[in-house]
Structure 1
Amino acid sequence: MADGTALFPIDARDKLALRLQNAVNGFVDGPRAAVENADRVLEEAITDLTRTLTERRRALRTTWQPHSAEPTPGEPTATEATPPAPPPTGDTEQLRLALQDYRETAERLLRL
């Protein structure tokens, strides 16, 4: 992405990879526990990725929409968090940059 935001922060990715490797290594001694641990790792990875993508989309929307959509559950309301002021709706350059960020984010997601 243009601002360098990772879909998966390196430290979080490394921790999950280590936990997954530990689950695989523990299979011989405890097959069921190993699979249960792997299941938890995958669940956390999906949750973290979903949260990251939701936050990224919300940030992208503030760059081009005069009023963002209603907050999702758990998202701060306008009185709790003040997003950056959006540019005028007719700013073609800002829209071009927003489209570029959307494209880069979607392409990274599709490469997973």
Structure 2
Amino acid sequence: MMYDQNRARQPADHTRGRTERRTPGPEPLLPSDEQDKIVQRLRHALNTFADSPLDALEEAESAYDEATAQLVNALAERRRLLRAGWQDQDRETHLEELRLALRQYREITQRLLHI
């Protein structure tokens, strides 16, 4: 009976004694420092709206334009790298590399569709 009481007090951790392995999440499309700069500009626009609405809107539009331009560039670079990785591969010998490229295309396309 005492064993059950002690065990009940312990957290339910099935990985105890083992190193927890997590699958890495998708790589961000934009570096975090670039994201931070755009978010800062957008916050500035929101904070100055009461005093200068038109200037705030122009700042927000500029932040939006910067974000979209950086995303387009990042997506083009990601596509270039993916294509370079599979385009010249021998299709029979490197089936696993092709499968990985397909998985990466699927992931990025799904992420785009959920924006």
Q: TM-score range by the shorter chain?
A: 0.7 to 0.9
Map of 1:17 onto structure 2: 39
TM-score by length of 1: 0.74
Give, in angstroms, the shift of residue 4 of structure 1.
5.1
Q: Which of the pair is proportionally richer in helix?
A: 2
1:108 aligns with 2:89: no
Could you list the runs of 5+ residues in structure 1 that have no partner in the other structure?
Answer: 67-86
Map of 1:26 onto structure 2: 48
Q: Letter of the aligned partner of 2:78 in structure 1? A: R
Q: What is the count of residue pairs matched by the alignment? A: 91
Which protein, 1 or 2, shows the higher relative CO under an 8 Å CA cutoff with sep ≥ 6? 1
Cα distance in 2 between the residues matched to 1:13 and 1:89: 38
Give, in angstroms, the shift of residue 51 of structure 1.
0.2
- Choose the corresponding residue for 1:97, options 100, 105, 110: 100
Q: Letter of the aligned partner of 1:88 in structure 2? A: D
Q: Letter of the aligned partner of 2:69 in structure 1? A: T
Cα distance in 1 between the residues matched to 2:30 and 2:85: 22
Q: CA RMSD of the aligned region, Å?
A: 1.7
Cα distance in 2 between the residues matched to 1:23 and 1:4: 30
Contact 1:65 1:89 survives alignment (8 Å): no
Rg larger for = 2
Could you list the runs of 5+ residues in structure 2 that have no partner in the other structure?
Answer: 1-23
TM-score by length of 2: 0.72
SS at match of 1:63: helix
